[in-house]
Chains A and B, each alone.
Chain A
Amino acid sequence: EPEVTQTPSHQVTQMGQEVILRCVPISNHLYFYWYRQILGQKVEFLVSFYNNEISEKSEIFDDQFSVERPDGSNFTLKIRSTKLEDSAMYFCASRARTGQETQYFGPGTRLLVL
């Protein structure tokens, strides 16, 4: 069964460094999402992406964050200058098309900023 994959599974970085989190959505899916979950807390929406552009973003998704779909299969989240409070689990999700509402989540990348 097709699934969303994410790499790396864990990343440790120093404050101020740039990180890129990678996701491969399910093939033929058209809608892509990033969420984060700080340990023990609820899931927070970051951004949605459709037709090669951001369709919605939350207040969390400030200028430090960017997303890209560089090659038609990968979907990346970049954090330009990480802060301690960026430490969280980051989930990518994809959805097939309009009318198909189920989002399929990847296994997540656990980011630790020191």
Chain B
Amino acid sequence: ELKVEQNPLFLSMQEGKNYTIYCNYSTTSDRLYWYRQDPGKSLESLFVLLSNGAVKQEGRLMASLDTKARLSTLHITAAVHDLSATYFCAVLFSSGTYKYIFGTGTRLKVLA
């Protein structure tokens, strides 16, 4: 079964703190995506990770991919209130057919 699991589901953190969101997936994948969604809004693409060991950074967010462990992380450094949103990872599985499977999302709230 193709599964993508994120944890935590909810995260409340103080401004200035660091934290990591985890995304585990069940089988070999070609692509891993991270998206941000503000309440009532669409999805904004943050990162696309294509290979083992890939690391990408944008501002206070850094994403990494370990294909052997089937794990991606989204690390938040020195959180600010503007980062409050729901973060989704999504995986492209391509064993026979291509399917995009999203994780459950992590709702992040950064407290001032």
By a beta-carbon cutoff of 8 Å, the part of chain A in contact with chain B is 33, 35, 42-45, 48, 55-56, 58, 91, 93, 101-108
Contacts and interface: CB of A to CB of B under 8 A. Distances in A.
A43 B48 contact: no
Contacts of B99: 45, 56, 58
Given A42-B88, A43-B90, A101-B50, A107 B101 contact: no
Interface string B29-53: 0010101000001111100101000
Given A56-B97, A56-B98, A101 B43 contact: no
B42 A106 contact: yes
Contacts of B31: 101
B45 A44 contact: no
B43 A91 contact: yes
B102 A42 contact: yes
Contacts of B104: 42
Q: How would you classify the secondary structure of chain A's contact residues: helix, strand, loop or mixed?
A: strand
Nearest to B30: A101
A42 B103 CA distance: 7
Contacts of B98: 48, 55-56
A56 B30 CA distance: 15
Contacts of B33: 101, 103
Contacts of B44: 105
